[in-house]
Chain A
């Protein structure tokens, strides 16, 4: 029998707000244990939550970007369970009236385009971290992460392959980063994904018993876990056994999932409306202002760059891979840089410099006017490309003054035809052997001669001009 895999995702995203969802402690990652904590986020007796405006704004922005309908009257609920990473023994979340519902995300995979439906998006608080010490056999509780704002995005069971899941997550990550609502770093846990998976005979429309997989810390882990879990379930069914509804944990080292807890005997969370938080009622004006402030997202930019500037698909993809890069590109174009030139500089020098420094595009100092000036100088023939790269390296970290640097180091291109001609003649006279080689048909000899002339002129000449002059002189 052929089997079909059916997958739904629950993605938890930590929001990049300055403060926690219900208190004014910092959300900074790391920090010594329990130093980003207060009575509210450690659940001390009598402490009360107050919702951060930024969390609401970010959640609504995300809902809008994912094509959701925004819940105009929304509320928080308590989800009750005991676990040491949850100090109040309830998580403030949204069950009955989540902030957004019914969205859709279009994805592209090699197998074709698909639409993934978003079931809902809700706000909630993150839990703390437990660290087990095998020496003392005790667990340390660090509550720094406790109360960091999360949005949970739940899809319908619309995925059929791991490729689709990865494409969705890449699209989601790109969107959230463009919105500036999260940095989506899987390794720091700011993007976490639980995979619900079941299998069914191909062609069937019912849903099989599903399992939920947790602890998937990379796209690679997700893809492998999906493959393994689908195989495991198919094998069970083909052996005449049944799949149990349960939560399974992916073990990266063992390349396998194992059962955490069975959902059948489990958890009755006793949700009820949070009495400490009044409801949220959103006006049309508020939604309109957020809609108006929504940035153009990557896909729209790619389409526009292709249409307006005729850039190749590859270039469009590269320069929109990050909002800061796209903004740099648009800045360059606005300042008159030829689009293709701008794209080349970004894909080459800018990405190279960032990766050499291990920096993120959003953290770079370089501004569009600086790079635009470099591109203009090259275009005007006042700087050759090689020198321009050196200047770029010199100004990149501080967004330095291009013209001042060129002046100080005397780097402006020589456009003195007579000087080039004179130097070329001198070089030819001094190297009869290369001249002979060239005339004997060895094209390579020309390169060596160009190099000599460039060295004589301290690299300031236009190599194309030198090339032309040498050919002319050698032809005589």
Chain B
């Protein structure tokens, strides 16, 4: 399939990434090449085959509803690029 720069713009938007003009051209060409290669899967007839997300038939892996102590707030916030000692901070984000 044809990968257009418009499509690359769209998936950049979805991924929160931006590419400069030259990078975008390279990326468009590379993605087109990779996606073309992936199209070999169409040689295989997979009609009726259930898509497999987990290789093991594990199921119902559940936790009991028992409270454990939370992480110390100072330790969590220590990882953050911007905090005020109570909360993580970002530029205005309220609609």
Q: Which residues of A contact B (CB under 8 A)?
A: 17-19, 24-26, 32-39, 42, 44, 50-56, 75, 80, 82-84, 130-132, 137-143, 249, 260-261, 268, 270, 273, 275, 277-281
Q: Cα distance A12–B94 when bound, in Å?
A: 20
Q: CB-CB < 8 A to A132: which residues of B?
A: 92-94
Given A53-B65, A83-B93, 8 additional A-B pairs, CB 8 A: A18-B65, A33-B87, A34-B77, A35-B73, A36-B70, A42-B71, A80-B14, A141-B88
Q: CB-CB < 8 A to B70: which residues of A?
A: 25-26, 35-38
- Residue in A34, A75, A273 whose CB lies within 8 Å of B87: A34
- Whether B87 contacts A141 by the Cβ 8 Å rule is yes
Q: Cα distance A50–B60 when bound, in Å?
A: 10
Closest to B53 in A: A273
The smallest beta-carbon distance between A258 and chain B, in angstroms, is 10
- In the complex, number of A-B residue pairs with CB atoms less than 8 Å apart: 118
- Whether B67 contacts A39 by the Cβ 8 Å rule is no
Q: Which residues of B contact A (CB under 8 A)?
A: 14, 16, 51, 53-54, 56, 58-68, 70-71, 73, 76-77, 79, 84, 86-95
Q: Cα distance A34–B79 when bound, in Å?
A: 13
Q: CB-CB < 8 A to A44: which residues of B?
A: 79
Closest to A17 in B: B65
Task: Decide if the interface of chain A is mainly helix, strand, loop or mixed.
Answer: loop
Given the known A-B contacts A132-B92, A142-B87, A279-B59, are A18 and B77 also in contact in the complex, defined by CB atoms under 8 Å? no
The smallest beta-carbon distance between A78 and chain B, in angstroms, is 11
- Whether B87 contacts A51 by the Cβ 8 Å rule is no
- Whether A42 contacts B60 by the Cβ 8 Å rule is no
- Whether A52 contacts B65 by the Cβ 8 Å rule is yes
Task: Decide if the interface of chain B is mainly helix, strand, loop or mixed.
Answer: loop
- Whether A52 contacts B63 by the Cβ 8 Å rule is yes
Q: CB-CB < 8 A to B16: which residues of A?
A: 82
Q: CB-CB < 8 A to B14: which residues of A?
A: 80, 268, 270
Closest to B95 in A: A260
User: What 3 pairs across the A-B complex have the smallest Cβ distances?
Assistant: A140-B87, A54-B65, A24-B68
Q: CB-CB < 8 A to A35: which residues of B?
A: 70, 73
Q: CB-CB < 8 A to B91: which residues of A?
A: 137-139
- Whether B63 contacts A24 by the Cβ 8 Å rule is yes
Q: Cα distance A130–B62 when bound, in Å?
A: 30
Q: Cα distance A56–B65 when bound, in Å?
A: 11
- Whether A140 contacts B89 by the Cβ 8 Å rule is yes
Q: CB-CB < 8 A to B56: which residues of A?
A: 278
Q: CB-CB < 8 A to B51: which residues of A?
A: 273
- Whether A140 contacts B88 by the Cβ 8 Å rule is yes
Most A CB within 10 A of own CB, among B14, B84, B86, B88: B88
- Residue in A25, A50, A55, A131 whose CB lies within 8 Å of B67: A25
Q: CB-CB < 8 A to A140: which residues of B?
A: 84, 86-89
- Residue in A34, A270, A275 whose CB lies within 8 Å of B88: A34
Q: CB-CB < 8 A to A268: which residues of B?
A: 14
Closest to B72 in A: A35
Can you pick out 13 interface pairs between chain A and chain B where the beta carbons lie within 8 Å of each other?
A19-B65, A24-B63, A26-B67, A37-B70, A50-B61, A50-B62, A51-B63, A53-B65, A137-B91, A139-B92, A143-B88, A273-B53, A281-B59
Q: CB-CB < 8 A to A55: which residues of B?
A: 65
The smallest beta-carbon distance between B80 and chain A, in angstroms, is 9
Q: CB-CB < 8 A to B65: which residues of A?
A: 17-19, 52-55
- Residue in B63, B71, B77, B88 whose CB lies within 8 Å of A50: B63
- Whether B92 contacts A137 by the Cβ 8 Å rule is yes
Q: CB-CB < 8 A to B94: which residues of A?
A: 130, 132, 139
The smallest beta-carbon distance between B56 and chain A, in angstroms, is 8
Q: Cα distance A50–B62 when bound, in Å?
A: 6
- Whether A34 contacts B93 by the Cβ 8 Å rule is no
Most A CB within 10 A of own CB, among B66, B67, B79: B67
The smallest beta-carbon distance between A284 and chain B, in angstroms, is 14
